[in-house]
Homo-oligomer: A and B are copies of this chain.
């Protein structure tokens, strides 16, 4: 059964630019923050992985589509799901919804598993695969 992971944020002054809307790259900060919260919730906080040199999960690809303006003061809901769990990589997707339920934006990030010592790709640990699988999209 598929679970979603949901977080809200309000667009702050810092998020916006002189054109009056959220500046594109800030959306990806919010998406990354949500991913960090998911990883903490399932027992693999990124700061522990990095600090203990247990596993690195660098972002190797990202993409985003901006459908509607996000303005200062808007409340956005992020729905985060695991799109793909590969042998050595995973894909996270985040939908950003306005309060009226319209889709404001969509982002995807691909993370590859690296052995911090060797710097080489390595398999995703089984417990992490298992934990992530609860958030996998099932069609």
By CB atoms of chain B within 10 A, which of A13, A64, A69, A72 has the most? A13
Q: For the complex of A and B, list the 9 residue pairs with the smallest distance between their C-beta atoms, beginning with the closest.
A: A47-B73, A63-B63, A16-B18, A47-B72, A25-B28, A18-B72, A25-B25, A24-B59, A13-B17
Task: Indicate which residue in B25, B58, B60, B69 contacts A29 across the interface (CB closer than 8 Å).
Answer: B25
The contact sample of 11 A-B pairs, CB cut-off 8 A, is: A13-B32, A13-B36, A14-B17, A14-B32, A25-B28, A25-B32, A40-B73, A58-B66, A60-B65, A60-B66, A61-B63
Known contacts A17-B72, A18-B72, then 9 further A-B pairs from the complex at CB < 8 Å, ordered by chain A residue: A10-B36, A13-B23, A16-B17, A17-B17, A17-B18, A21-B58, A24-B59, A24-B109, A62-B63
A45 at interface (Cβ–Cβ under 8 A)?
Answer: yes
Main DSSP-derived SS at the A contact region: mixed
A64 to B64, CA, bound (A): 9
